[in-house]
Chain A
């Protein structure tokens, strides 16, 4: 109960300080409009923001300077989160600075108007791409390689049960977690990327076809998509995976291939909707009429006339769709029906290592491994979303 009392006390103090802040501002600046027209809520918000920021800095310094092991363990994740946040901000800032002075004129112009979040997104995507492509050379061990020492704790400190050979430790059966994280970039991101490409190939071509031809084909495809979209996608994917797992065992085809196909089909319905909507807006344009009168065929119309004019919305959709596909695959793996072992995969790793979270209060290094795998998923989707958000903002021309 006293915790609630403290919260009330803090709020009252902040409320009073907010009033004082505005009043002092008015007095000190001689009633400048900034302070004169400031609503009380805004003053309260400023003080609240400063209080939260102050609390973060104070806690960080307290955790940094303390040498009591329980305090260090308790604030370990807080400290790491703050440090990583600062590190990422600096990295994004440097990357944007680099982009502003290097590269061609077009990219330099692009970087000049770029918010920091978008720069962070692009940098992260590049780093992930490098890890995904060169996983074989970057990873210190193989993804299926099993070592004699299982359950080595992350951190590489022998006193805490670590081992410098395995900086992030090993899992229950003795596989190096760092290598599996790096290979996870290749497997999880690669499979999600292929799935998204397939979904776009399928949904995009059918959508443009429906928009160009119209008539019964359009009706048929649209109603079929309506039916598919009536079932929530994760549930539908789970159901179809159940059926596919029977086929996979009888046909001898890996389940992962079925998963790629299933998710591609489910997600292509969303792509179909967008492609059809964008396509039918373009089809009524005069230049399409002209091309038709010239006697151009269907292929020319779709690929040379409609597709170039629909690139911008489709590209933004590709980023968002990739995020959804990636999250669906991660969730399926987390539930145990996605990417199958021995392939290293982040969703599966989170599930396998999740029990270690309960040790966080006395062995924070052990608890960090499942969060690293989950964080790897989160970081990529956040990065893609930041970039897409910026692209949409730029193309929509919304300034207010």
Chain B
């Protein structure tokens, strides 16, 4: 990683001071940073995220006149990331809740122990380790899925899904573990309550006790952890997107960080933080909605 600003990063180590100065002048990097920040803030309030340095630099050298704004550059990438997050969530959420219920049902059995060890392992491995293991077994040794996700516009849904499946599976491994453990813990916490004992004494089957009586009361913590993991899906995908060269917002962010393209970095951070906060807010609202005692306060 090269130290310095965009001008130094793009020109490399053998750049002449004149060339650096000229690029800095073109991009406005010679202004004091307080002034630059307030210019950006002013534009941001009006919904204008600015123009990325690389686009501006390209245009001033090549004379092109169709400049893409940061919003236009990020738009399709944001869609791709959302697509990845949606695919992952639609696999991970049902699977993890089902596994969580099963683990709570057969707690302390062989199944529970194996599930416990497996999930702990997949939570604690770094994402790129899981990604490379999946690439190794599903793409290289048994060529079932493509290891690179080169997604472009105009692809059919099926093709797109196929290219997205491997990163989505990796992310599923990462988030399922967490959600499953929380589901299990939330249900087991409730099993000592008197109304569960009542349901048992009535002679209901264990499955029915858990699904009908314990699960509705365990929904609040489960929803919370699902929302947290969805927030992770949008923000924590940086590493996965880099591994699979997935054209999403995370990869764009890392690339921009490397060349010090500040407008893009700022815009990406803004999006990440917004998504994170919005999802946390949704989690709070949903857990209030799922609890009648909170829905109708005295």
Contacts and interface: CB of A to CB of B under 8 A. Distances in A.
Interface string A365-400: 001001100110110011011100100000000001
Contacts of A249: 3-4
A231 B136 contact: no
A115 to B, nearest CB: 9
Contacts of A235: 235, 238, 253, 268-269, 272-273
A3 B243 CA distance: 28
B5 A238 contact: no
Contact of B1 (A49, A336, A350, A370): A336
A45 interface: yes
A357 interface: yes
A142 B135 CA distance: 32
Nearest to A373: B129
A239 to B, nearest CB: 6
B272 A231 contact: yes
Interface centre among B108, B128, B236, B269 (most CB of A within 10 A): B128
A73 B225 CA distance: 41
B125 A378 contact: yes
A335 B236 CA distance: 13
A327 interface: yes
A370 B257 contact: no
Given A242-B260, A335-B254, A360-B140, A323 B269 contact: no
B141 A117 contact: no
B132 A370 contact: yes
Contacts of A284: none
B242 interface: yes
B4 A334 contact: no
Interface stretch (B17-25, B48-56, B115-123): B115-123
B126 A331 contact: yes
A382 B133 contact: no
Given A42-B106, A238-B254, A360-B140, A331 B265 contact: no
B242 A230 contact: no
B111 interface: yes
Contacts of B188: 400
A246 interface: yes
A46 to B, nearest CB: 9
A336 B5 CA distance: 17
A232 B236 contact: yes
B124 interface: yes
A381 B126 CA distance: 8
B257 to A, nearest CB: 5
A77 interface: yes
Contacts of B129: 350, 371, 374-375, 377-378
Contact of A117 (B117, B232, B254): B117
B173 interface: no
B269 A400 contact: no
Chain A interface category by residue count: 35 or more
A231 B234 CA distance: 12
Interface in B273-296: 273, 276-277
Given A231-B272, A336-B258, A331 B239 contact: yes
B191 interface: yes
A74 B141 contact: yes
Given A235-B238, A367-B136, A386 B120 contact: yes
Interface in A320-356: 323, 327, 330-331, 334-337, 340, 347, 350, 354
Interface string B166-192: 000000000000000000000010011
Contacts of A377: 125-126, 129
A238 B106 contact: no
B140 A381 contact: no
A237 to B, nearest CB: 10
Contact of B125 (A49, A246, A382, A386): A382
Given A378-B125, A384-B124, A354 B238 contact: no
A374 B141 contact: no
A377 to B, nearest CB: 5
B140 A358 contact: yes
B277 A234 contact: no
Contact of A246 (B4, B106, B121, B123): B4
A245 interface: yes
A191 to B, nearest CB: 15
Contacts of A246: 3-5, 260
B133 A371 contact: yes
Nearest to B131: A374
B165 to A, nearest CB: 15
Contacts of B127: 331
Interface string A168-183: 0000000000000000
Interface in A156-188: none
Nearest to B108: A400
Contacts of A350: 128-129, 132
A27 interface: no
B282 to A, nearest CB: 15
Nearest to B106: A42
Contacts of B120: 117, 382, 385-386, 389
A382 B118 CA distance: 10
B140 A361 contact: yes
B239 A334 contact: yes
A236 to B, nearest CB: 8
B35 interface: no
A387 to B, nearest CB: 11
Given A232-B272, A235-B269, A384-B124, 14 more contacts: A45-B106, A77-B137, A232-B231, A245-B3, A246-B4, A246-B260, A330-B126, A334-B239, A337-B257, A350-B132, A354-B132, A382-B121, A385-B120, A385-B124
26 contacts: A49-B111, A230-B273, A231-B269, A232-B235, A238-B254, A238-B257, A245-B1, A246-B4, A255-B3, A331-B128, A331-B239, A334-B242, A336-B1, A337-B257, A347-B126, A350-B128, A360-B136, A370-B132, A374-B128, A374-B129, A378-B121, A378-B125, A382-B125, A389-B120, A400-B108, A400-B188
Interface of A: 39, 42, 45, 49, 74, 77, 117, 230-232, 234-236, 238-239, 241-242, 245-246, 248-249, 255, 323, 327, 330-331, 334-337, 340, 347, 350, 354, 357-358, 360-361, 367, 370-371, 374-375, 377-378, 381-382, 384-386, 389, 400
